[in-house]
Amino acid sequence: MGENRRHYRNFKTVVYIPAQVADAFTKEKLSEEYDFFEEYIGLDKVYLETHRGSVAADKG
């Protein structure tokens, strides 16, 4: 499937990942979830929260 083929014309699709969720994801799981959403709806932007309160998403 061509790039941007699933993207919508009249609006942007965005996903927001809170720090608690980001902290629970591994790099592999994050990549798997991104690929799923990109395949079926096409993502225009991803907001990744790196910290909230006492939760800080680890880079690893």
pLDDT per residue as tens, the chain (60 positions): 445 456 788 889 999 999 999 888 888 998 999 999 999 889 999 998 988 888 888 766
Determine the pLDDT at residue 15: 93
Separation in Å, CA 18 to CA 40, 42, 49, 57? 22, 20, 5, 9
Query: Regarding beta strands 45-48 and 14-17, do their DSSP bridges make them parallel or antiparallel, or are they unpaired?
Result: parallel
